[in-house]
Structure 1
Amino acid sequence: MYIYLARLAFLVVIIFSYHSASAQESLDSLLCWLDNPQILKLINSTDSSLKTQVLTQYEFKLPIYHPLSKLRLNSNFGFRIHPLTRQLQFHQGIDLKASLDQQVFATADGIIIHTGYSRSLGYFIKIQHLAGFTSIYGHLNHILVATNQPILQGQIIGTCGMSGKTTGVHLHYALRRNQQYLSPSLILHKD
């Protein structure tokens, strides 16, 4: 129930950010901490018709759904000892266990802003979403989309692999809002 309320509050804060400058200022700090007491206050002070409207209009436009058919966490967001370099390093996303050529899904509606290859991420895809969100999918085996292509939540965009700097097959999934990395675990929909 708490996770549902936190996700709902997240959506309510997003909608308020379009209507109020002061809400926009508080949005940046609230997004990183979905268990903030201000969010619970916001939920209690918001009428149910607005909650319904927010969920209906923005459910598929915010990156809250699974990039894989099952979420099995391999490595979390934050500081960690990198498995290859053995150095303390900030991990800007999460690593999800996967099998070779397992389908990767867009976590929300958006536009493909970049596909390519980098030494660290291997083959990757970046999708621009509503409200300044960008989702990043790395270590892919195949890219099935092109730059500037519109994407729907749940659409297959690629397949898992082990390209780039990796110890095995998995999906690196990262989430940014206005160039700041967020923990995807706080935002992704839980079954």
Structure 2
Amino acid sequence: MERDRVTILVVTPDKRGVRSLNIRTFHIRALFFVLTGFMLVSLVSFVASYKLYKKAKRKNEVMGYLVNQIGTLSQALSSNLFLEDQLNERLGDIEQKLIEMQKLLRKKGIKKELSIGGEFIPADRLSSSYFDILEKDIDKLMDTIKTVPIGKPLSGKINSGFGYRKDPINSRLAFHSGVDIDAYWGQPVIVTADGVVRHAGWYKGYGKTIIVEHKNGYETLYGHLSSLNVKEGQYVKSGDVIGFAGSTGRSTGPHLHYEILKNNQNVDPARYLSLR
């Protein structure tokens, strides 16, 4: 039995006596295993806690990264939506200009749908610069339609063309400086381009006549009118009603005598009556 015990001698600080403490080896072994087990449990718990800490830290880093990415994407989306609104607005402006152009062409007697074509450009590649170029081209075309005498001054059949013909009054060969367009009495006559009225009144054998000066050396003449709707010096816009058809002057019946001059030289109006 003595072998199963361990005696521990304890000496008091004042050395007055010695005390002995008998502990069974079983209890020492048990205490050793308890302490060892406690240390193992503590070590496992520490390792597990450290892993959880690292995992949580990684999650926080990932969450932070995702939040930043979401913020960046949100800003990009807002920017793209703003750009899309701008492009839609520009597209609306261009569409409105095309509608105005179509209306003006129809007013000038040109019934032609505007042709559209060109390179295919996906919506995500559209930019403000592309619309700048497109709008600039449309503005140039609109300016041409407004300032060049394109179209008919009134709706009607051409009774007599440009060039030499037999005179309708004396049947002699003579040069016809314009075209005669069939009309009914009082039919509205429009000006075919923007310009300034140079003459509004009686003019030679053309009776009541209006002469309009345009840009780029163009001039138009509207003869045999029944009445005038403008006066000299007045600025007129393409499509404005400037007078009404009649048969004043040297004429055999209601019609419009229409001339186009380029740099003071008469040109064939038939070349300008429609778009080819």
**1:93 paired residue number:** 178
Query: After superposition, what is the alpha-carbon deviation per residue over 1:56-94, rounded to whole angstroms, capped at 9, x for unaligned?
Result: 3221111002200x2310100000001001110000000
SS of 1:57's equivalent? helix
**Aligned residue among 134, 144, 152 for 1:66:** 152
Runs of 4+ in 1 over 6 A off after TM superposition: none
Distance across 1 between alignment mates of 2:139 and 2:237:
20
Distance across 1 between alignment mates of 2:187 and 2:175:
26
Query: After superposition, what is the alpha-carbon deviation per residue over 1:164-191, rounded to whole angstroms, capped at 9, x for unaligned?
Result: 0011000000000111000000012259
SS of 1:136's equivalent? strand
**2:259 paired residue number:** 174
Instruction: Establish whether residue 75 from structure 1 lines up as the match of residue 160 from structure 2.
Output: yes
Report matched runs for 1:131-142 at 5 Å: 131-142=216-227
Instruction: Establish whether residue 118 from structure 1 lines up as the match of residue 241 from structure 2.
Output: no
Give the deviation of 1:138 after TM superposition. 0.1
**2:169 paired residue number:** 84
Which one has a larger percent strand, Structure 1 or Structure 2? 1
Identity of aligned residues (%): 35
Distance across 2 between alignment mates of 1:76 and 1:51:
34
Instruction: Establish whether residue 56 from structure 1 lines up as the match of residue 56 from structure 2.
Output: no
Query: After superposition, what is the alpha-carbon deviation per residue over 1:16-50, rounded to whole angstroms, capped at 9, x for unaligned?
Result: xxxxxxxxxxxxxxxxxxxxxxxxxxxxxxxx998
TM-score by length of 2: 0.49
Distance across 1 between alignment mates of 2:241 and 2:149:
15
TM-score by length of 1: 0.71
Q: Which amino acid aligns with 1:171?
A: L
**Aligned residue among 245, 248, 260 for 1:160:** 245
Distance across 2 between alignment mates of 1:73 and 1:57:
27
Which one has a larger percent helix, Structure 1 or Structure 2? 2
Greater relative CO (CA pairs within 8 A, separation 6+): 1
Larger of the two Rg values belongs to structure: 2
Q: Which amino acid aligns with 1:57?
A: D
**Mean alpha-carbon deviation: is it higher for 100-109 or for 58-67?**
58-67
Q: How many residues matched?
A: 144
CA RMSD of aligned residues (A): 2.0
Distance across 1 between alignment mates of 2:265 and 2:204:
22
Question: Does the C-alpha gap of structure 1 residues 96 and 190 become closer, same or farther in structure 2, counting only changes over 3 Å?
Answer: farther
